[in-house]
């Protein structure tokens, strides 16, 4: 029997093979290889349009936010969680080609004994502030209300999810079916400080936080905030790191709690400009969320994706690697490891895309290329090491 990784022992799956199997026979919509399912526009009946409806959330990051809030009384951390939930939807939809008229609904499940109205208020304000931020880049988004459910017998602290709906002209759909031999891959960095961010972003995003928080932070959190984790998991898997929430991070004036809770970077301003100018040149867009650098495997056939020029590993992932001793092969399949958006296109257009990203102070570079293959495969080459996923 295969030995389970620490990630799996904590009750999490990066591949979600059981989920993909469960939906394998479900209709894939009008563009099966797009990053999001797109269905006919049943609302208007306009045959030139499709509808995208997408649901996602901040995941277990909200549990760490709860501990940080209790430790520091910093309510603004909940605005970051609102951004996490929104970006995990909107940036997915952008990968399918949608860039406007996003209709947003937020669902919050809370333990009312622990999560008071001030937290809900901060999350709602965070949603509204992110909508206002998008409007500055001519990306229209609208709040359609939501739901706050008191489910304390199911949710230990709080979970924040969002559903987003948009229409897209069929001619504007991005299908990863077009990824092919000869394409290069542009990676947009997940870390640093873009022109539209107010502080340094560690690049962690909203994936792999179950492992990140337990591997980085010390047993002090287990003792002080037992409501933040599943107490049926062995103690040797919960809060086994060396850091406290308010310890200094590698970035000056940012503590470890807010460093790991860096809000998921949106690429919406960049991609709005990219798609306005180069939509017809793009063969595919991948959001490296669940599955990390192997995410593209869900959207290709008969293509080998070779990633041989990745960004240097950001500090947050160095810390996770050091604290957890997780093999790098597993790290690449859980975390984004430095870039969270990939654009697949002919090399002749690469510099144009890279220059747009750099206008926003987001590092971008060619991180790999595509080859013909009898099967689908991702190969990551890091110094002398090669990791193969299929």
Q: Residues near 244 by Cβ (< 8 Å), separated by ≥ 6?
A: 217, 218, 220, 256
The domains of the chain are located at: 6-389
Cβ contact 244:220 at 8 Å: yes
Q: Quote the CA–CA distance of 352 and 117 in Å, as a whole number.
A: 47
Q: What is the pLDDT of residue 195?
A: 98
Q: What is the pLDDT of residue 90?
A: 98
- Express each pLDDT in 210-240 by its tens digit: 999 999 999 999 999 999 999 899 889 999 9
Q: What is the pLDDT of residue 120?
A: 97
Q: What is the pLDDT of residue 14?
A: 56
Vertex 96 angle, CA 178 and 269, to 5°: 120
3-state SS assignment for residue 199 = coil
- Express each pLDDT in 175-223 by its tens digit: 999 999 999 999 999 999 999 999 999 999 999 999 999 999 999 999 9
Q: What is the pLDDT of residue 158?
A: 97
Copy the structure tokens of residue 248.
Answer: 């200094």
Architecture label for domain 6-389: Alpha-Beta Complex (3.90)
Mean pLDDT of the chain: 94
DSSP assignments along 57-103, one per residue: E-TTHHHHHHHHHHHH--TTHHHHHHHHHHHHHHHHHHHTT--S-EE
Rounded to a whole number of angstroms, the distance between the first and last alpha carbons of the chain is: 20
Copy the structure tokens of residue 183.
Answer: 């394409």
Q: What is the pLDDT of residue 26?
A: 78
Q: Quote the CA–CA distance of 267 and 196 in Å, as a whole number.
A: 10
The dihedrals phi and psi of 239, each to the nearest 5 degrees, come to 45, 70
- Express each pLDDT in 36-68 by its tens digit: 999 999 999 999 999 999 999 999 999 999 999
Q: How would you classify the pairing of strands 102-110 and 141-150?
A: parallel
Give the chain's residues under pLDDT 50: 1
Q: What is the pLDDT of residue 227?
A: 96
3-state SS assignment for residue 211 = helix
């Amino acid at each position: 029997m295969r030995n389970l990784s620490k990630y799996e022992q904590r009750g999490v799956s990066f591949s979600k093979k059981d989920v993909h199997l469960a939906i394998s026979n479900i209709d894939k919509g009008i563009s099966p290889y797009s990053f999001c399912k797109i269905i006919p526009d049943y609302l208007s009946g306009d045959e030139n349009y499709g509808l995208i409806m997408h649901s996602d959330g901040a995941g277990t990051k909200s549990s760490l936010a709860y501990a940080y809030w209790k430790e520091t009384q910093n309510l603004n951390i909940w605005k970051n969680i609102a951004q996490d939930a929104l970006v995990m939807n909107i940036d997915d939809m952008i990968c399918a080609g949608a860039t406007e008229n996003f209709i947003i609904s937020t669902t919050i499940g809370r333990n009312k004994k622990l999560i008071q109205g001030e937290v809900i208020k901060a999350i709602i304000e965070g949603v509204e502030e992110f909508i206002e931020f998008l409007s500055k880049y001519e990306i229209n988004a609208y709040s359609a209300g939501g739901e706050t459910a008191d489910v304390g017998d199911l949710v230990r602290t709080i979970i924040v999810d969002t559903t987003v709906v948009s229409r897209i002209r069929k001619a504007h759909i991005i299908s990863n079916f077009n990824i092919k031999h000869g394409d290069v891959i542009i990676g947009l960095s997940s870390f640093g400080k873009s022109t539209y961010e107010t502080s340094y972003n560690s690049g962690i995003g909203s994936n792999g936080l179950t492992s990140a928080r337990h591997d980085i932070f010390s047993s002090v959190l287990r003792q002080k905030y037992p409501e933040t984790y599943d107490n049926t998991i062995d103690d040797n898997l919960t809060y086994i790191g060396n850091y406290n929430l308010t310890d200094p991070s590698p970035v000056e004036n940012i503590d470890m709690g807010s460093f790991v809770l860096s809000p998921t970077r949106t690429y919406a301003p960049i991609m709005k400009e990219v798609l306005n100018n180069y939509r017809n040149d793009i063969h595919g867009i991948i959001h490296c969320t669940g599955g990390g650098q192997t995410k593209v495997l869900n959207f290709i056939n008969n293509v080998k994706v070779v990633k041989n020029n990745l960004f240097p590993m950001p500090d947050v992932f160095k810390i996770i690697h050091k604290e957890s001793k997780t093999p790098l092969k597993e790290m690449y399949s859980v975390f984004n490891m430095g870039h969270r958006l990939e654009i697949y296109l002919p090399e002749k257009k690469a510099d144009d895309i890279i220059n747009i990203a750099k206008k926003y102070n987001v590092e971008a570079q060619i991180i790999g290329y595509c080859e013909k293959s009898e099967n689908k495969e991702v190969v990551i080459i890091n110094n002398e090491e090669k990791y193969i996923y299929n």
